[in-house]
Amino acid sequence: MNFYRFLPAALLLAAAICLCSFTAAQENPQPPKQTIQVNVERVNVGVIVTDHGGHFVEGLRREDFRAFDNGIEQPLIGFTAIEEPGQVLLLIEAGPAVYLLEGGHEWAADALLRGLSAGDRVAVVKYADSPATLLDFTADKGAVDAAFGQLRFNLGFGSLNLTSSVSKVLEWLASVQGKKTIVLLSTGVDTSPSNEAALLMQKLRVSDVRLLAVSLAGSLQNLQASGKKKSSANDSGKTAQQFEQAGELLKQMAASAGGRAYFPATAREFNSVYAEIALIIRHEYSLAFSPPIRDGRAHSIEVRVNASQTTASNRQATSNRVDHRQGYIAPIPKNEPATISPDK
């Protein structure tokens, strides 16, 4: 699979300069405040349950789950076990930095496709300054593999608008039904306007889309460490700080969407991460409840697993980890869209 292109390590300077733009982007003047517009009649919640050893808890039933809206329990109007096919959107950074990645872990992405079920549908989207679709949702894994070969990466020092691109993808997925997951492959570098991150976090918290982030920065750091040309201690410290900021952004995005962030650095680690992501997608329970009140406000969501109903090996509620979306925007009367500002 030709997932990434490899160029000589001399291009490492391009990655460093591109990373520097992450800091500069935070200092850009803020454009006019944006708002999120949502209207919800049914709240869908994807739930992942793992035990204290990180193993997925299977065989749970509707009565094993309890859903809470702003702390008040709600009756479930929908429940689908892990057999339901998922919709997986692979969002791949296509900027200059990924030219520098080693080819050793390219084959590991096969683990993701191999681990998905036959009915799971996959789309492939790349981004730099904006997202561009390479392949719409399909269950044909061969077509997905072929789409990787269409990837073209931008040279130079162009934009890497991560948060604004993810925000746009969320808009695209709003009309897609069923279990939805964004698998983001990114360095975490973001040159979007400075208010985009806050807006995106709010969108992710109220979205029914799970985001799983795979950092590509570990591979770049390995290349820098093995490069013949040594940079000054000052430059190294600055680059390390930028990698840390980029990693924190990926963690925040994943946490806001009830997902997880991964930081692999070797081919073996990439393989393990892709395999786990495939398992997460296949082991997601889907719950639904009706909004109890039409007030147009942000509501928190909490899901609990009734440990007394689970298997003998999972009796302790405290040993189970439950991952799910954090909230939603309740509908308002007269079919008017609810709005929420990113700073509220």
What's the mean pLDDT when you consider all of the chain?
A: 77
Q: Among 200-209, 210-219, 235-244, whose mean pLDDT is lowest?
A: 235-244
CA 126 to chain centroid: 14
Contacts of 232 (CB under 8 A, 6+ apart): none
- pLDDT higher than threshold 70 for residue 313: no
Query: Percent helix, strand and coil across the chain, each rounded to 5?
Result: 40, 25, 35
- Reported as a pLDDT band with limits 50, 70 and 90, residue 83 is low
As a whole number of angstroms, the distance between CA 274 and CA 88 comes to 13
- Reported as a pLDDT band with limits 50, 70 and 90, residue 280 is confident
- pLDDT higher than threshold 80 for residue 44: yes
- pLDDT higher than threshold 50 for residue 17: no
Count of domains observed in the chain: 2
CB 128 within 8 A of CB 161: yes
Whole-model pTM: value is 0.75
Residue ranges with strand state E in the chain: 36-38, 43-50, 65-69, 72-74, 78-80, 86-93, 121-127, 131-138, 179-186, 209-215, 261-262, 285-289, 298-305, 321-323, 327-329, 338-340
Same domain, 160 and 246: yes
Residue 1 lies in a domain: no
What is the predicted pLDDT for the residue at 240? 72
Q: Among 163-167, 197-201, 233-237, 328-332, whose mean pLDDT is lowest?
A: 233-237
Same domain, 116 and 143: yes
What is the predicted pLDDT for the residue at 203? 92
The last residue of a domain, from among 247, 281, 315:
281
- Domain that includes residue 53, residue range: 36-82+283-340
- Reported as a pLDDT band with limits 50, 70 and 90, residue 266 is confident
Q: Sheet harboring 72-74: ordered strands across?
A: 72-74, 65-69, 298-305, 327-329
- Reported as a pLDDT band with limits 50, 70 and 90, residue 102 is very low
- pLDDT higher than threshold 60 for residue 11: no
Residue 13 lies in a domain: yes
Same domain, 239 and 271: yes
- pLDDT higher than threshold 70 for residue 264: yes
Segment (H or E) for 18: helix 12-25
Residue 266 lies in a domain: yes
Residue 174 lies in a domain: yes
Same domain, 130 and 99: yes
